[in-house]
Amino acid sequence: MRFRAPAVGVLRIMPLDELTAIYHRASGQTHLVASPVPEILAALAPAPATLDELLARLAAGYDVVDPDAEALSARVAELVALGLVQCA
C-alpha cells in the first residue's frame, strides 16, 4: 500500500518549538504534533510512497532519531485516521 500526503495548500504548518501546529484546511482542524510527523509529511510531499520507501526517505534526508518500521507504521496509521495522509 502506498501513502499520499495532502495536495499542496491543504496543510498550513507552523513550527512552534519542539511541537508543530498544523492547520488542515480540508477538515478545519488543528493538530499539534511532534517529530517525526512533520518529517513524514515532508517526505511524502514529492510523491506517494510505501512504508519501506518512506523509511528510506526519512533515513536519507531527515534527522529522525532511529527510525524503525513498526513505529513508523503506527504513526502513519494515526495520520490516515486523522485524514492527514491518504492511502493512494
- By beta-carbon proximity to another protein, the closer residue of 28 and 46 is 28
> For residue 55, which phi and psi values (nearest 5 degrees)?
-60, -45
Least distance from another protein to the Cβ atom of residue 55, Å: 25
50 is a contact residue toward another protein (CB under 8 A): no
Residue 25 binds to another protein (criterion: CB under 8 A): yes
CA distance 20 to 22: 6
Pick 14 or 60: Cβ nearer another protein? 14
Segment interacting with another protein (CB under 8 A) among 19-27, 38-46, 49-57, 60-68: 19-27
- Look up cell 499539534; give the residue: 32
Q: What is the DSSP letter of 66?
A: S
Cα–Cα distance measured from residue 83 to residue 11, given in angstroms and rounded to the nearest whole number: 11
Chain-centroid distance, C-alpha 75: 8
> Please, what is the minimum distance in Å from the beta carbon of residue 26 to another protein?
6
Choosing from 32, 45, 74, 88, the residue that interacts with another protein (CB under 8 A) is: 32
